[in-house]
Amino acid sequence: MKKKLCSSVCLWCLVAVILCACGKQGNPIVLPDREDIVSIGVSDGEKSGYSPNTEGEADAFISEFLAILVDMETTNKESITESPANKDYITINIYCDDKTMTIYYYKEDDTEYVEQPYQGIYKPAPALGSCIKEMLDSGDKEQKQ
């Protein structure tokens, strides 16, 4: 009797683990192909910055920025509006030849997030925050000059 009970409990635990692992995984971010991207711009409402405009620097920067976005972790949180509920967000515009894609970067409880409207919310690598800060700082310097 104890053997059957133990086997039954183990079986149910295994089923529970499998069901938890098969839970909703969230939608991956949808980004344009690298060759379609012309430039990237960021804005915090006061300052704006853009990817470098010289061909060699721009290509390397855009490729690095895109690699960070592609490698984000899905949070399984849903995005159900045009812009984040968090009021202190930074707008990231990805400019292509025929369209502009907008996503949002923000911090909440010391955690960084990227939100793509109606697609999902993601956790980026810390390097994204550094790239955005660099872009905003360079845009601020250009504006002062």
| pLDDT tens digits along 12-48 | 444 444 444 444 467 889 999 999 999 999 999 999 9
Low pLDDT (below 50) residues in the chain: 5-24, 144-145
Q: Check residue 116 and give its pLDDT.
A: 96
Q: Check residue 90 and give its pLDDT.
A: 97
Q: Tell me the C-alpha distance between 94 and 23, whole Å.
A: 31
Please list, in sequence order, all residues whose beta carbon lies within 8 angstroms of the beta carbon of residue 85, skipping any fewer than 6 positions away: none
Q: Check residue 55 and give its pLDDT.
A: 81
pTM of the model: 0.77
